[in-house]
Amino acid sequence: MNVTLWIIASVLAVAFLLAGAMKLAQPKEKLAASGMAWTGDFSAGAVKGIGAVEVLGAIGLILPAALGIAPVLTALAATGLAVTMLGAAIVHARRKENQMIGVNVVLLLLAAVVAWGRFGPYAF
pTM of this prediction exceeds 0.85: yes
- pLDDT by residue for the chain (124 residues), tens only, comes to 999 999 999 999 999 999 999 999 999 999 999 999 999 999 999 999 999 999 999 999 999 999 999 999 999 999 999 999 999 999 999 999 999 999 999 999 999 999 999 999 888 7
State the Cα–Cα distance between residues 26 and 32, nearest whole angstrom: 10
Residue ranges of the domains in the chain? 2-119
State the Cα–Cα distance between residues 77 and 64, nearest whole angstrom: 10
Non-local CB neighbours of 121 within 8 Å, separated by 6+ positions: 1
State the Cα–Cα distance between residues 36 and 40, nearest whole angstrom: 8
